[in-house]
């Protein structure tokens, strides 16, 4: 990673929790995707993550990261499990995760439990859409809190996944091969 734009996200340094879902088999692919799990982000995304972590802590909350940089081989494995462009980007187009500029995360309360976001991470259904109508008020509030923190830190959101945030102009960043 000498010339790589990726930096390792250290839980203590960034004051976040790291729970890389694809390092285990309990995920949408039903198998381990990352045998050597490391939480990596493009250095510009890492700067925004640092700001987001600070904002979350000001609200008495912590960020829990579920996914960050995703090697291209991993994108192919996820596509094989769910070939649906609404939820998993076609690996031929290049995932924003494979550029190191996307992060999947949630907010954790002082009790150590994730805030209720209405669905689990990677629930590939309409209820996972960022502004799905009919969600309970507390769920809407929690999602809006996460959106506010992440937008203020410099990220953008997408419509179909409440947990997914990425740098603006994510397609402008190059795909980063396995590191």
Catalytic (active-site) positions: 161
| Element holding 63 (H helix, E strand) | strand 62-67
The neighbouring-strand residues paired with 40 are: 8
Q: Which of 46, 94, 41, 35 is nearest to 67 (CA)?
A: 41
- Find, among 30, 61, 29, 33, the residue nearest to 149 by Cα: 61
Contact 78, 34 (CB under 8 A): no
Q: Residue-wise over 86-124: b if at least 16 C-beta within 10 A, else e?
A: ebbbebeebbbbbbbbbbbbbbbeeeeebbbbbbebbbe
């Amino acid at each position: 990673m000498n010339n790589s734009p990726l930096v390792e996200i250290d839980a203590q340094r960034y004051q976040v929790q790291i729970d890389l879902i694809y390092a285990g088999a309990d995920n949408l692919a039903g198998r381990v995707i990352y045998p050597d799990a490391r939480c990596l982000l493009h250095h510009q995304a890492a700067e925004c993550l640092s700001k987001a972590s600070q904002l979350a802590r000001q609200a008495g909350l912590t960020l829990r990261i579920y996914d960050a940089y995703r090697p291209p081989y991993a994108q192919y494995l996820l596509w094989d499990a769910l070939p649906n462009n609404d939820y998993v980007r076609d690996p031929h187009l290049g995932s924003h995760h494979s550029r190191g500029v996307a992060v999947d995360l949630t907010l954790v309360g002082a009790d150590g439990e994730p805030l209720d976001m209405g669905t689990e991470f990677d629930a590939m259904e309409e209820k996972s859409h960022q502004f799905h109508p009919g969600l309970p008020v507390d769920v809407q509030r929690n999602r809006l809190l996460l959106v506010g923190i992440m937008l203020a830190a410099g990220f953008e959101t997408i419509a179909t996944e409440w947990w997914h945030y990425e740098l603006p102009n994510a397609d402008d960043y190059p795909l980063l091969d396995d590191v």
